[in-house]
Structure 1
Amino acid sequence: MKKWLYLIADFSYGEDKIKAALEAGVDYIQLREKNISSAEYLLRAKKLAKLTEYYHTRLIINDRMDIAVLSGAQGVHLGQEDIPVRDARSFLGADKIIGATAKTAEQAKRALKEGADYLGSGAWFPTDTKKDAVSISEEIYREILNTAPIPNVAVGGITAENLRKPLECGAQGLAISAGILKADDPAAEVRKIRKLLEGEE
């Protein structure tokens, strides 16, 4: 089964870097914006929706169902403090992708039962993107995988240098932010990670 390359982005990295990563080929891109108005969030989401349509990449919006619907994104990713997956599924219907953060087997079990399509679990490594992220152990990660047999994307400080560990544990994909977008050449970084992912299959 093909492993996902899942890019987490915000416009602070620069539109050119995001575009370069998309052009090199990612399967999903999650727009995660903080501390901006809803109006600005929607503008950025609509702009990214046009880019993802051109590059045939699925667009996921972090936290905000309303932004996901209004921008034409393919789905939404929900954290533990966001709207419950069951309510999101009821509102969005069967066609939208719903991802959920799961840091424990219990959270994974609940998300699966409520209709999540995939899970994001971490943090695998220290990350500047989320300074308060709590690290996950291999044991807990394997418990999550065993509890919820849907795709699981490993997240948190992942780079081309350290990605083997989550893959060896059974991750279906890798969610990467700074590990791609902080690189001088994001496209080259995407291609490097792609080769490593293909080598794991």
Structure 2
Amino acid sequence: MNLTIYLITDDKYFKGRDLLETIEKALQGGVTAVQYRFKNKSTREMYEELLKLRELTRKYRADLVVNDRVDLALAVDADGVHVGKEDLPPEAVRKVVGDRLYIGYTANSLEEVKRAQELPVDYIGFGSIYPTTTKESYKLVGVEALTEAIRLSKKPIVCIGGIMPYRVSEVVKAGCRNMAISAGILGFEDVKKAAEEIKRAYKETMKQLMLLGKV
């Protein structure tokens, strides 16, 4: 499981763009995992895209995670599946997938992070850290809550929501080592360059923290 630079797809960023070509450029820029998240496609279309995406992510040694659809994640031999509070409960997902997939779960408050410690999940997506345009309805938690979530969680925290290249340093200094990003990469015309900027900011900030003895 390598979710350092975790790309989340979204319908609105692929209008007039080739899915595989765009994601390949992001992978070339340094993306370490891709979450396939689309709401307006047929099951057959998603399955066929995921088969191609599985080949592509393997080529770049990146993880493939499927949002919501446990059946599709298993069918294409993905690495993980991500579920939210309105989806199949993590306990049920674990019964279905066993040890074949890792499971991600969404938390939007510190209380939910605490409760998630008892769930059979492997990482927790926590946010929204900043205002975001990717989701119409979201809860803003902020950077201070992120630091607290990382402190109290035994499971890896993936910070999500409004993480742009210029905000990477702040979330890394707050303790985040896994960043879920959508607009911060796909919102740019040159997705490879955007991913490279995020990777560079992450590495530079980690280097600074190491020199200060904070890692």
Q: Give your verdict on TM over 0.5.
A: yes
CA shift at 1:124, angstroms?
1.7
Contact 1:85 1:111 in 2 (8 A): no
How far the C-alpha of 1:55 sits from its partner, in A, is 1.1
- CA distance in 2 between partners of 1:82 and 1:113 (Å): 17
**How do residues 129-168 of structure 1 correspond to structure 2 at under 5 angstroms?**
129-168=134-173
8 Å CA contact retained: 1:183, 1:189: yes
Tell me what 2:119 maps to.
114
Structure 1: which 5+ runs fail to align?
none
Shift of 1:96: 1.2
For residue 41 of structure 2, what is the aligned residue in structure 1? 36
Q: Is the 8 A contact 1:3 1:197 kept in 2?
A: no
The equivalent residue for 2:101 is 96
Matched, 1:24 2:36: no
Q: 1:143-167 CA distances to partner (integer Å, 9 max, x unpaired)?
A: 3223322211111111111222322
**Runs (4+) of structure 1 moved beyond 6 Å?**
none
Q: Do the aligned partners of 1:99 and 1:118 also contact (CA within 8 Å) in 2?
A: yes
Number of aligned pairs?
Answer: 200
The CA RMSD over aligned residues, in Å, is 1.8
**Bigger radius of gyration, 1 or 2?**
2
Larger CA deviation: 71-80 vs 124-133: 124-133
Equivalent residue for 2:6?
6
**1:61 corresponding residue in structure 2:** 66
Tell me if 1:187 matches 2:196: no
- What is the aligned counterpart of 2:82 among 69, 72, 77? 77
Percent pairwise identity: 34
Q: Determine helix, strand or coil for the equivalent of 1:143.
A: helix
Shift of 1:3: 7.4
TM (norm. structure 2) is: 0.86
In 2, the alpha carbon distance for the partners of 1:88 and 1:77 equals 10
Kindly provide the amino acid, as one letter, of the partner of residue 31 in structure 2.
Answer: V
CA distance in 1: counterparts of 2:102 and 2:195, whole angstroms: 23
